[in-house]
Chains A and B, each alone.
Chain A
Amino acid sequence: MNPMFRNTILVALAAIFAAAPWALDEFSLNLVTRMLIFGIAAMGVDLLVGFAGLVPLGHAAFLGLGAYAAGILTDMGLESAFVVWPLAIMVGALGAAIIGGLSLRSSGLYFIMITLAFAQMIYYVFQSLRAYGGDDGFALTRNTFAGLIDPYDSRAFYFLTLAITLVIFLLLLRVVASPFGVALRAARDNEARLAAVGLPAFGYRLVAFILSGALCAFAGVLLANLTGYITPGYGSWPQSGELLMMVLLGTAGTIWGGLLGAAIFVALSEVLSEVSDHWMFYLGLLIVLRVLLAGGETTKLLKRLDPRRRADG
């Protein structure tokens, strides 16, 4: 992309995002906040799908872990986001370290099913937490920011989410272009050759898995704060499927693709559910058509063959 054109787009995007709180009503603003939050999760999933070449079907578990950890810690009397959020993210990262350590011993379809099964296990843990509403879930008192931000002000929460998303986006851009990111992509392309020059793939994949789990946990924390409510549904496997859809709807293998895909998905669900009670049917149909018609392979092939698009953003 030529830099002039790119800068114009960036400025336009910045203007749109900055103006959003004044142009939109509260409902729509929350919708945009939701897009950003799912964008964080989708960027995390894309780190695995697009850069490590691994397809996890259980990342909702980390969304749920983040949300539940935040909710439970808050319930225990910790209120400050500066304490609760990092702890909740660490819970997600720890869960990802354990599940990733076990799942990454396998690959391909096996990996897909194992991640799904582990996520399901965590889902049942949520369901069995009687003290936290079991199947029904529980309400969360929003975390506080030492008086700096009013957590109940939609605009403030939107700007907070926007800032977090932006920082994560920029950090991830660096990470995928770093020696770590290069090793991760090299392992995706040719694991045996990477080992033959002296780098074992497992550790890099595990770190990527932990990073993506932590990002999903962060999204879970934010989502719980946005909605003020936590249910086992955060960790359900359809939710895991939706995270993958977001990656597919964007462009797997680019960090901005996660953001874009999440925005498209959230918007699409919203529009479809306005139009029909049976919007899940049409969503399913759209996904099937998107996969069949767009031909994931062609896009990937084009990207492989065109060295300018091999790049990292």
Chain B
Amino acid sequence: MTFSLFVEQVFNGLQLGMLLFLVAVGVTLVFGVMNLVNLSQGALVMMGGFLLATATKATSSYWLGLPLGIAALIVIAMLIELLVLRRLYARPHIDQVLATFGLMLMFNEGAVMIWGRDPVFMAIPAALEGSVTLLPGVAYPIYRLAVTIFAGALGVALHFLISRTRLGMLIRAGADKREMIQLLGVDIAFLYLMVFCLGGVLGGVAGMLLGPISAVTTGMGDPILILALVCVVIGGLGSVGGAFVAAMLVGMCDTFGRVLLPQALGAGTGQAIANMIVYLVMAAILIWRPAGLASR
């Protein structure tokens, strides 16, 4: 592997890791605060992609489409919480799994009904076209770099939100002390709505960022959801920091596995193991720490 390829792959790994983090953080927050497993997060990733594509087309501007798309995402996330999830918090896990699985089917097929089965391609916004030279001889697409930086910025903002604000304080307390929040006189229903919208929008934004990189298709969120669930499991359920570390680990393992393993082991075997590498890493970590990295 040449040095320039190595640098490029590090950036690709970072990018995948950041996007996974955005999706995983939604799952882990919803689990930590509401004790709910949400399989519909993948649907929100997909909806993010479709909504941005549609809004961009309608307004003929990516930069107008973006806020419109996010606004639509918020509405959808609120509807999901108010109509379905709200009734599931006290339910057994199997009910949560099935209802959110049902939601996922509805969204995936609903997207087919609205946008059809063909992938929708999105152009990279003009301002972000082209490449930059990271190091002499290493060119990297500006859009991909911008995605990583933007996702990273969101991550930092989230960190401050959780560590410095009242909402963040409630989120942190929520994972440990449900009763305490109620004693503080906080409207739990509203807090839950906020947390779900926050997590859902972050997942949707990940889908928006992905749109111009891979095409927008129905079911595009499903494989991302599963990788995000792996991050949540590795990181430790409910832990945002753990999810971040795990997402980076998964992003890097997946990216480098796909480049290095076919070279090392031949196309067939290498490809096969590259597909599984993330799960092998997960199994190894779980043998070492059954409750994830964040557990003591």
Contacts and interface: CB of A to CB of B under 8 A. Distances in A.
Give yes or no for direct A-B contact (beta carbon below 8 Å).
yes
Interface of A: 49, 55, 57, 102, 105-106, 108-110, 112-114, 116-118, 120-121, 124-125, 127-130, 237-238, 241, 244-245, 247-248, 252, 278-281, 283-288, 291-292, 296-297, 300
Contacts of B280: 121
Nearest to B101: A241
Interface string B84-113: 100110111111011101111111111011
Contacts of A288: 84, 99, 102-103, 106
Contact of B99 (A113, A124, A292): A292
Across the A-B interface, give the 9 residue pairs with the lowest CB-CB distance, nearest first.
A284-B105, A128-B272, A287-B102, A121-B279, A284-B106, A281-B109, A124-B275, A280-B109, A288-B102
A302 B63 CA distance: 55
Contact of B37 (A105, A109, A241): A109
22 contacts: A102-B283, A102-B286, A108-B93, A109-B237, A110-B291, A112-B97, A117-B226, A120-B279, A128-B268, A129-B272, A238-B105, A241-B98, A278-B112, A281-B105, A281-B113, A283-B105, A287-B101, A288-B84, A288-B106, A291-B102, A292-B87, A296-B91
A117 B93 contact: no
Interface of B: 31, 35, 37, 39, 84, 87-88, 90-95, 97-99, 101-110, 112-113, 222, 226, 229-230, 232-233, 237, 268, 271-272, 275-276, 279-280, 282-283, 286-287, 290-292
A291 B279 contact: no
Nearest to A241: B101
A105 B99 CA distance: 26
Contact of B276 (A121, A278, A284): A121
A59 to B, nearest CB: 12
B267 to A, nearest CB: 9
A106 B290 contact: yes
Contacts of A105: 286, 290
B102 A248 contact: no
A117 B27 CA distance: 15
Contacts of A129: 272
A125 B277 CA distance: 11
A49 B93 CA distance: 10
Contacts of A285: 102, 106
